[in-house]
């Protein structure tokens, strides 16, 4: 085991440089350290000017997504020991504008997420007195996987389509739309279909499949999109054959 490892970090300080540069820090190697621990060590002891986002340290909040040696990762769940002998290269997520160092701006995603209405839509709410909307374990099982998404944006960073066509709604937003479409309590599938079946929705996806590979929560956004393509295509055929039936 080495006693130290080199951490090469992308730096972008807009007041000083117009393109990102790399800075290398020699940090102590500990086998229980993840990349986020190493970044915090840099921030605390070596260079307080390094900027990055993090919060929970346990794969729940989705803030610490970065590229580690070229692959989008949650840095709180990526051990230094996986990358020995180093150097370990840490960069901001691809395809999002870089605000500073490792911090990217996610406004684009938040705007798209809102478009797909990721909440339970009812044609008519039932009165409170009638109690809650019940659900069987099997009904929960139908969408549970998609509900695990933590909006960490690794899937967007892994998706070359999002890089080439920034208007693409993207993997996480579609998976989350599908999470509500599959929910037995929801009645908003037709409303979401309007957004999802447009050009920038599911049909932009050419099934590269990388979003599913990098997902730390096993959401399988690629699966969600392909399943939705089947729904979208079926709906389209139905609307051709029975134009009055799909209103």
Asked whether position 226 contacts other proteins by CB under 8 A, the answer is yes
The stretch among 23-31, 45-53, 148-156, 201-209 that binds other proteins (CB under 8 A) is: 201-209
Asked whether position 89 contacts other proteins by CB under 8 A, the answer is no
- Taking CB under 8 A as the criterion, the residue among 164, 190, 237, 242 binding other proteins is 164
Under DSSP, is residue 88 helix (H, G, I), strand (E, B) or coil? strand
From residue 47, how far is each of 51, 90, 188 by CA, in Å? 10, 15, 50
> Are the CB atoms for 162 and 168 separated by under 8 Å?
yes
CB burial string 177-204: b at 16+ within 10 A, e below:
bbbbbbbeebebbeebbebbbeebbbeb
From residue 209, how far is each of 125, 145, 147, 167, 220 by CA, in Å? 38, 17, 19, 19, 9
Asked whether position 223 contacts other proteins by CB under 8 A, the answer is yes
- Taking CB under 8 A as the criterion, the residue among 55, 107, 234, 239 binding other proteins is 107
Asked whether position 97 contacts other proteins by CB under 8 A, the answer is yes
Contact positions with other proteins (CB under 8 A) in 50-69: none
Give how many residues touch other proteins by CB under 8 A.
33
Asked whether position 134 contacts other proteins by CB under 8 A, the answer is no
Cα Rg of the chain, angstroms: 21
Treating both helix axes as pointing N-terminal to C-terminal, what angle do 189-196 and 171-181 enclose, rounded to 10 degrees?
Answer: 160
185, two tokens:
């309590």
Peptide bond into 24 cis (omega under 30): no
Asked whether position 186 contacts other proteins by CB under 8 A, the answer is no
Q: Which is nearer to other proteins, 11 or 30 (CB)?
A: 11
> CB of residue 186 vs other proteins: minimum separation in angstroms?
17
Q: Which is nearer to other proteins, 59 or 223 (CB)?
A: 223
> CB of residue 137 vs other proteins: minimum separation in angstroms?
8
Residues at the contact surface with other proteins, assessed by CB under 8 A: 12, 14-15, 18-20, 70, 94-95, 97-99, 105, 107, 138, 141-142, 160, 163-164, 206-210, 213, 220, 222-223, 226-227, 229-230
């Amino acid at each position: 085991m080495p006693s130290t490892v080199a951490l090469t970090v992308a730096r972008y300080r807009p007041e000083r440089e117009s393109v990102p540069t790399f800075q290398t820090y020699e940090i102590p190697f500990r086998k229980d350290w993840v990349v986020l621990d190493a970044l915090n060590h840099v921030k605390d002891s070596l260079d307080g000017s390094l900027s990055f986002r993090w919060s929970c340290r346990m794969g729940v909040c989705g803030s610490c997504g970065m590229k580690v040696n070229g692959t989008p990762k949650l840095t709180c769940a990526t051990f230094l020991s996986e990358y020995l002998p180093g150097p370990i290269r840490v960069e901001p997520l691809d395809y999002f504008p870089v605000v500073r160092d490792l911090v990217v701006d996610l406004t684009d995603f938040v705007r798209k997420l809102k478009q797909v209405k990721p909440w339970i839509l009812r044609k008519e709410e039932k009165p409170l007195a009638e109690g809650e909307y019940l659900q069987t374990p099997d009904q929960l099982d139908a969408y549970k996987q998609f509900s695990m998404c933590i909006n960490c944006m690794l899937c967007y960073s892994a998706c070359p389509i999002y890089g080439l066509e920034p208007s693409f709604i993207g993997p996480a937003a579609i998976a989350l739309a599908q999470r509500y479409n599959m929910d037995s309590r929801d009645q908003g599938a037709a409303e979401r279909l309007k957004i999802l079946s447009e050009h920038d929705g599911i049909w932009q996806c050419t099934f590269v499949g990388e979003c599913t590979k990098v997902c730390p929560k096993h959401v399988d956004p690629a699966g969600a999109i392909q399943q939705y393509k089947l729904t979208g295509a079926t709906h389209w055929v139905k609307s051709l054959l029975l134009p009055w039936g799909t209103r």
